[in-house]
Amino acid sequence: MAISEGRSGRGALLPLRISQLAGSRGGSLAIFVGKRILWMVPIVFFVILITFVLMHLAPGSPWDRTGGRQLSQAVMNNLNIKYGLDKPETEQFKLYVWNVIHFDFGLSYQYEGKSVVTLIGGGWPYTATIGFLAFLLIVPVGISLGVVAALRQNTRVDYITMGFATFAASFPNFVIGALMVVVFSVVLYKATDGNFFLPSADFGLDSHLIMPVITLSLLPIAYTARLTRASTLDTIRQDFVRTAWAKGLPERLVVIRHILKNSLIPVVTTLGPTFAFLVTGSVIVETVFNIPGIGRAFVVAVSSRDYPMILGTTVLFSVIIAVANLVVDVAYVFIDPRVRLT
Amino acid sequence: MHSRLTIRRALSLATAGVFLVGCGGGGSTSANPAPPDKQILRVNDRTEPNSYDPTQQTYSYEAGVGRQVFEALLKPKADGSDVQAAAAKSYDISSDGLTYTFHLQPNAKWSDGKPVTASDWVYGYQHLLNPALAAGYVDPYFDSVIAGATHWGDFSSKSSVKDIDGFVSGLGLSAPDPSTFVIKLDHPAGYFKWVVTLWLAAPIRKDVVEQAAGGAFPSNDPTKALMWANNAATIIGNGVFKISEIAPKDHVTLVPNPYYWGGPAKLQQVIEYFIEDGNTAYSKYQTGALDMIGVPLADVTVVRGDPKLSKQANLYPRLGTWWMVANAQRPPLDNPKVRMAFAKSIDRNSLVNNVLHGVGTPTLSYIPKGMAGYDESNKVQSFDPAAAKKLLADAGVTAADLNKFKLLTRNTTGNKTINQFIVDQWNTNLGLNIQLDVVDSKTTTSRYLRKGDFDLYGPDGWGADYPDQQDWFDNYTTGACHSLNWGCAKLDGFDELVKKADAGVDQAQRNKDYAAAHKIMIDQAAIGMLYQDAEYDLIQPWVANVKSTAIDDQFLVGSFYWHDVYITTH
């Protein structure tokens, strides 16, 4: 590995080619992204470590039943041997990490003979689709509601918009989901051919998406709207906005170029985690609409102590959250010229 | 709460009143069968089976699929009084009670058309009993009784191929000719005919298993032997239906096995959905998108008051009972009088009417109504607060002695609701101040119950795997202490009676011995009885010829007899 001369600090450890790029803005961005991606390795390692320790500290074995016939000790012994749980925990940990390096996330305890990769691969597309669509809904709707409310502060528009946001934020989504099911699927089912909005079972990427996506996005829309409103109000009072008005710029330009661009920083900061939260699934939405996603699978895995499944989903979630945060940090560069990634 | 009761329920049932026949909804539709493309039954099996290999299955929702795709040697008679022919057309028991000879149905065929032979049965039982595969219900049902199987627990996937082969080939299983399957027992067991009714004891196709595994594999391999069950195309069964499609976590679609020995089923499709939220299933039922559901407890009153739905709903008694447990190893709960005081201070009628909305029946009998052994004459645990208080006084126990105790409660809505009622009954009727201790369900089992580290616990329940009392009394022997017998009450003479009755062949004598054992456990208040289980289910009026039993798979009414169910024009 060549080391570029005259450079000190972290850049010195990087290969020459990238270091040379570091002079330009694109180059520093590439280095930033590269470093952050490398950082994900220790992050994932510690996530595995902490999850592993907590998981094994939690009382209850994967073979305990929640009621009725318990498995006999002989059966549990054989299951422990079958899944390697008879080995010391340090050895189990080393083995798991070794397997993860080889992209082997093991077999689920709960679903006989199914690998964690198969189970997550089967469920995540549903979760991710719903989460992604919800995100596509949240960004324009949440931001425009916030901006409109701020520009029309203390008018009826503001009150209605913020009233809606408060309403959406205070109703838990299991109430909203269940309510929508009752209204659209049961009461109005004839009007909608009895099937259009139906939740659960035969879940497909079609009209079934409408209700879960709305349910999932209501709270983040409310949150985004309020945040945008607060941030916009802040920006409106800045000198440069006053200057822009004074220059006689049309409203559209003032709002988009001067107000919006500067109000978005805090909003973008929250959109990253929001995106991660959305695409990792909501237990409640997946349960109410019977979506075979991984949000629910994760909770089931925890309550049934399905260790490989818990670890596999946690690793996936941590990678998604790390990537989402990285994307947010990169997005700053394009939104706010003051931000430098060094 | 329902899901707590059994893990799996098996066959059953019994005498008058409990066995209901032909509850096909009860609407005004015609009796004319709908055209074949409408012969679709849509039900809710709640949870996807953890495995589609029947030998690996243990839960009721697994039996909900396994029972349709595989058929056991025998099945219970409609009235539950005895077994009847299923995959075996008849069976003989040797005079020493040690050899069971099953004569297989001559026309039995797999869903791919090949004949089912006795060697398929030998392979199926060997597969079930292979210690490397660690099947959940091998112990105690099979390993305790089949010749050569009692050392099952000494082997595992760590054992050598030679040891596993030796164990498996040493089992008392043989196929003297293609239509005769013989099982030799370790010791006489009058209940063994019921054990072979369990859906998980099925024939398995060796060629299918090996092909899916990519060829022959070592017998101590814990996963290869189960790969065949991961793919609908390779799940070849001998049952009424076969699997045509598995949509993970969403549904399975069953279609008739065209080669079933009793002729193909009338239904052209059974779709079993996996909808875990009872309210979601209830919504779907109301739109006509499901044909059969269990009514969520919160909606029972609504359904009762609805002119249309109430006609489609029925109460189905189950062979299951619920009770409270006191830790008899923790003084003063070791004193039967103290335990009896707790048992006698619960108003069961109020529990069933107000908390369970009538979905259940108050009972004082451990053995449920509907099978041999039900005892309604022993009223020693009946509700009587004055007598309960007197028992405490007689035992010299004060409120202060008992107020330190907590009622261990699993953290589910059903359990919390019931236990709030129970603890209120105890506190009001006995002048106590006992608190609930609500704990995560798995932690309850592993951290507290298995270690005997609790004061009071409940509701605990059991659902019959088959209508023989052995399935019930074995749970309260000394050997079951800290495994199912959580309270570990000392019951003099109980173990001997149960052991004798389990081994007995004369049914009348067995019943007598079990009755004596039942009296001991109730009189000593080893458990404080609460109620007999029931299901309140909705069935659409167009589902015809549903024959329910009291051990149907949960919320799958008539699941033993779906062969004859059909859909009427509507």
Specify whether the backbone of B114 is left (phi greater than 0), alpha (psi in -120 to 50) or beta.
beta
* pLDDT tier at A117, thresholds 50, 70, 90: very high
Provide, as residue numbers in chain B, all residues whose Cβ is less than 8 Å from the Cβ of A69: 6-8, 58, 137, 465, 484
Note the pLDDT of residue B19: 35
Instruction: Give the confidence band of A19 by pLDDT, cuts at 50, 70, 90.
Output: very low
Q: What is d(CA B537, CA A147) in angstroms, rounded to the nearest whole number?
A: 52
Question: What is the pLDDT, as a whole number, of residue A341?
Answer: 62
User: Mean pLDDT throughout B447-463?
Assistant: 94
Please tell me which of the candidates B143, B280, B460 has its beta carbon nearest to residue A288: B280
User: Inter-chain contact A59–B447, Cβ cutoff 8 Å?
Assistant: yes
Read off the pLDDT band of B410 (50, 70, 90): very high
User: In chain A, which residues have their Cβ closer than 8 Å to the Cβ of B274?
Assistant: 201, 290, 292
Contact (CB<8Å) A113/B152: no
Q: Is the pLDDT of residue B28 over 90?
A: no
**B14 pLDDT tier (thresholds 50, 70, 90):** very low
Averaged pLDDT, B263-275: 96
Q: How confident is the model at residue A25 (pLDDT cuts 50, 70, 90)?
A: low
B457 to chain A, any CB pair closer than 8 A? The answer is: no
Residue B10 has pLDDT above 80, yes or no: no
| Tens of pLDDT, residues B417-434 | 999 999 999 999 999 999
pLDDT value of residue A43: 92
Rounded-to-integer distance, Cα B77 and Cα B102, Å = 17
- What pLDDT, on a 0 to 100 scale, did the predictor assign at position A189? 66
Mean pLDDT calculated for residue range B480-506: 94
Name chain B contacts of A308, Cβ cutoff 8 Å.
Answer: none
Contact B561, B240 (CB under 8 A): no
Distance from CA of B460 to the nearest CA of A (A): 7
Amino acid symbol at B162: K
Reference A177, options A271, A277, A290, A293; nearest CA is A290
Between the alpha carbon of residue A266 and those of residues A20, A131, A139, A225, B310, the distances in Å are 33, 21, 13, 12, 55
Residue B124's pLDDT band, with cuts at 50, 70 and 90, is: very high
pTM of the model: 0.88
Domain with CATH 3.10.105.10 in chain B: 317-533
Tell me if A112 and B5 make a contact (CB, 8 A cut-off). Answer: no
Amino acid sitting at position B457? Y
pLDDT score for B81 = 83
- Give bridge partners of residue A156 from the DSSP assignment: none
Average pLDDT over residues B254-267: 97
Average pLDDT of the residues in A18-38: 72
| pLDDT > 90? residue B283 | no
**What pLDDT was estimated at residue A191?**
59
B55-231 homologous superfamily:
Dipeptide-binding Protein; Domain 1 (3.90.76.10)
Weakest-pLDDT range from B40-44, B180-184, B246-250 = B246-250
pLDDT value at A195 more than 80? no
Amino acid at B292: M
Residue of B nearest to A108 (CA): B50
Q: What's the pLDDT score for residue B25? A: 43
Q: What is the pLDDT of residue A22?
A: 46
Taking residues B324-336, report their average pLDDT: 96
Burial B98-124 (b: 16+ CB within 10 A, else e): bbbbbbbbeebbbbeeebbbbbbbbbb
Instruction: For residues B570 and B27, give the distance between their C-alpha atoms in angstroms, rounded to a whole number.
Output: 10
pLDDT given at position B2: 37
pLDDT at A204: 56
Yes or no, beta carbons of A61 and B276 under 8 Å apart: no
pLDDT exceeds cutoff 90 at B177: yes
Q: Does domain B317-533 have CATH number 3.30.365.10?
A: no
- Give the pLDDT score at B199: 96
Q: What is the pLDDT of residue B284?
A: 86
Mean pLDDT taken over chain B = 92
pLDDT tier at A290 (50, 70, 90 boundaries)?
confident
DSSP B274: -
Q: Which pLDDT tens digit goes with each residue over A87-99? A: 999 999 999 999 9
On whether any CB of chain A is under 8 Å from the CB of B131, the answer is: yes
Q: Contact at 8 Å (CB) between B549 and B19?
A: yes
pLDDT score at B55? 97
Confidence bin at B20 (pLDDT 50/70/90): very low
What DSSP assignment string belongs to A145-208?
HHHHHHHTTTSHHHHHHHHHHHHHHHS-HHHHHHHHIIIIIIITTTTTTTTTT--SSS--SSGG
Provide the pLDDT confidence category of residue A7 given band limits of 50, 70 and 90.
very low
Start-end of CATH 3.90.76.10 domains in chain B: 55-231
- pLDDT at position A17 over 50: no
Q: C-alpha B265: how far from its chain's center?
A: 25
Residue B140's identity, in one-letter code, is: P
B483/A73 touch (CB, cutoff 8 Å), yes or no:
yes
Which of chain B's residues have a Cβ under 8 Å away from the Cβ of A189?
286-287
Q: Which of A81, A123, A194 sits opposite B288 (nearest CB)?
A: A194
Question: With pLDDT > 90 as the criterion, what percentage of chain A qualifies?
Answer: 42
A243-247, B282-286, B329-333, B444-448: range with highest mean pLDDT = B329-333
> Which residues 6+ apart lie within 8 Å of A98 measured at CB?
none
Query: Which chain B residues touch A126 with a CB distance below 8 Å?
Result: none
State the pLDDT at residue A205: 59
Q: Is B443 on the interface with A (CB under 8 A)?
A: yes
> What would the two tokens of residue A4 be?
């570029």
> What pLDDT shows up at residue B249?
87
Mean of pLDDT values over A298-322: 92
pLDDT at residue A338 in the model: 73
pLDDT in tens, A100-109: 999 899 999 9
| Mean pLDDT along residues A151-177 | 89
Judged against a pLDDT cut of 90, whether residue A193 lies above it is answered with no
| Distance between B558 CA and the closest CA of chain A, angstroms | 22
Residue A342: its pLDDT value, please? Answer: 56
Q: Find the mean pLDDT for residues A262-287.
A: 88
Q: Which of B442, B443, B470 would best serve as a mutation to test chain A binding (most A beta carbons within 10 A)?
A: B442
Using CA atoms, how far apart are residues B96 and B83, in angstroms rounded to an integer? 20
Interface test with A, best of B250, B440, B470 (most A CBs within 10 A): B250
The model's pLDDT over B530-545, given as tens digits with 9 standing for 90+, comes to 999 999 999 999 999 9
Poorest-confidence range of A194-198, B54-58, B128-132?
Answer: A194-198
Please tell me which residue of chain B has the smallest CA distance to A69: B7
Cis peptide before A250 (omega within 30 of 0): no
Q: Of the given ranges (A287-301, B18-32, B238-252, B415-429), which has the lowest mean pLDDT?
A: B18-32
Strand order in the sheet with B99-104: B88-93, B99-104, B180-184, B173-177
CA distances to A201, B334, B470 from B492, rounded to whole Å, are 53, 13, 18
pLDDT surpassing 80 at residue A310: yes
What number is the ipTM of this complex? 0.84
Q: What is the mean pLDDT of chain A?
A: 83
In the structure encoding, which two tokens stand for residue A151, read together?
């520009």
For A81, which of B53, B58, B156 is closest by C-beta distance?
A: B156
Q: What angle do CA B462, B466, B472 make, to 5 degrees?
A: 40
Contacts of A64 in chain B (CB under 8 A): 442, 445-446, 450
